Amino acid sequence: MSVHARLHATVPSLMSSPQAGPPEIAGPPGRRMLVQRSDEEIVAQPLDDAFAAIPGAEVRFPAPWPRSRGTWEVSPDASLTVFAGVHAVRAVEPSGATRWEVRHGCWYGACRTMHESYGEYAEDPGHRYPDGGSVGFSADGALVWAHVRGPLPDGELSPDTVDEWLVIDTGTGRVLARASAESAAAGSLHVPYPADPRRMGLSIGEGQDGAPLRLGGWDGERLDVTYVEGDLCLMSVSPSGERLMTVSHDQNELSVRDLHGILLDGLEWDAESVLPPHPDAPSEDGEEEPVYWDWAGGFVDDSTLVVSTVESDDEWGEVRHWLLDTTGTHGLRPITYPAQPSGQPAALGNGAWATPSESGDALHVWVAVGR
């Protein structure tokens, strides 16, 4: 039995430039904003509870380097953006002023230089497609967590440390704690715990080599890191902060875990066992085309996930999204939309999720009818 989606809002993008990245809805309910980045700047537009733009609240942050040279995150109150670049983590205010900067080792693997500025390598072809880390704000905005390539200018944790995980004071830029990420990342993503500003998740991608998952806790004095076993991509933390959604690196298993990363009994779903084949996919000699979970989706509420199989469906026609009830009441149900959806879903909490418009010029916000 399917579940019907009702269009709740359409949120227009902030930039029309072909060089701009896709728009995203960031922040928890009550503090949502639409954010979008071009090579030159980031625009953050706070939204009200109906996903409408709050007049006069738009903020713009000049970017210190092009979009292809790192990742970024806007603070929960839209007063600061932190850029995770090739050689440094930099906090930028709307005026363009640098509040602070933490330099680190170069993310281009063959480079051992401790760069002092982007200009040192801006025109170097070897630095054009570097690996990279990421940054994330704690739920209250007081801390910045940063995944960087070591070492820092003040020395290494140990000679064997490649990547470091830092806890930084948002106001001053002081590094409060650091730990080895025990990885050799190509990229990463921070996922905050909405109800607990002391906790942060770090999902690391090592290309074909694996997907280490790290869970951090900061008590004001000490950084504790849980090195979760297995290659798992962290997609989402529940609104209560008590559950994690992960997808295995091979995209075969989707699971729900406790806040420490321990698998919860009965909350793991094997793609081959639970996902039906695409209705338009060919079948040869009784062998169905494989279906697998996307690295996408998240908690619609504490007990419901929005998930998708877009990557494996796309070749055969209509892409499929699903609602997954983790209580066992409804199980996995396909979502039917008024029109064919585009792209992968992003969970927003409060029962809502978003999908990109086909042209990429807007985000559609959906809720389930009669869920």
Residue 355 pLDDT level (bands cut at 50, 70, 90): very high
Domain of residue 175: give its range.
18-290
Long-range contacts of 301-304 (CB under 8 A, 24+ apart): 301/238, 301/239, 301/349, 301/350, 301/351, 302/238, 302/239, 302/240, 302/242, 302/243, 303/327, 304/351, 304/371
Q: Is the pLDDT of residue 284 over 70?
A: no
Cα–Cα distance measured from residue 79 to residue 76, given in angstroms and rounded to the nearest whole number: 8
Mean pLDDT of the chain: 94
Q: Average the pLDDT over 28-37 and give the result.
A: 94
pLDDT > 90 in the chain, percent:
85
pLDDT in tens, 111-133: 999 999 999 999 999 899 999 99
- Residue 358 domain-assigned? no
Residue 271 pLDDT level (bands cut at 50, 70, 90): very high
pLDDT in tens, 285-310: 666 788 999 999 999 999 999 999 99
Q: Is the pLDDT of residue 246 over 80?
A: yes
Q: Is the pLDDT of residue 329 over 80?
A: no
Query: CATH number for the domain including 245?
Result: 2.130.10
- Residue 197 domain-assigned? yes
For position 286, what pLDDT does the model report?
Answer: 60
Flag the least confident range among 50-64, 87-101, 154-168.
Answer: 154-168
Residue 170 pLDDT level (bands cut at 50, 70, 90): very high
pTM over 0.85: yes
Token duo for residue 216: 């951090």
- Residue 343 domain-assigned? no
Q: Average the pLDDT over 180-204 and give the result.
A: 96
H-state helical runs in 127-171: none
**Contact between residue 343 and residue 356 where contact means Cβ atoms under 8 Å apart:** yes
Flag the least confident range among 60-64, 85-89, 203-207, 327-331.
Answer: 327-331
- Residue 349 domain-assigned? no
Sign of the four-CA dihedral 252, 236, 211, 215: negative
Q: Average the pLDDT over 159-178 and give the result.
A: 94
Q: Average the pLDDT over 156-168 and give the result.
A: 88
- Residue 230 domain-assigned? yes
Question: Is the peptide bond between 212 and the residue preceding it cis, with omega within 30 degrees of 0?
Answer: no
Q: Average the pLDDT over 135-160 and give the result.
A: 91
Tokens 């199989």 belong to: 309
User: Which residues neighbour 157 within 8 Å (Cβ) at sequence distance 6 or greater?
Assistant: 150, 151, 164, 178, 179, 180
- Residue 357 domain-assigned? no
Residue 140 pLDDT level (bands cut at 50, 70, 90): very high
Q: Is the pLDDT of residue 19 over 80?
A: no
Count of the separate structural domains present in the chain:
1
Q: When comparing pLDDT for 345 and 16, which is higher?
A: 345
pLDDT > 70 in the chain, percent:
99
Residue 155 pLDDT level (bands cut at 50, 70, 90): confident
Residue 314 pLDDT level (bands cut at 50, 70, 90): confident
Cα–Cα distance measured from residue 66 to residue 219, given in angstroms and rounded to the nearest whole number: 35
- Residue 23 domain-assigned? yes
Q: Average the pLDDT over 83-94 and give the result.
A: 98
- Residue 132 domain-assigned? yes
**Contact between residue 265 and residue 327 where contact means Cβ atoms under 8 Å apart:** no
Q: Is the pLDDT of residue 158 over 90?
A: no
For position 371, what pLDDT does the model report?
Answer: 61
Residue 239 pLDDT level (bands cut at 50, 70, 90): very high
Residue-level length of the chain:
371
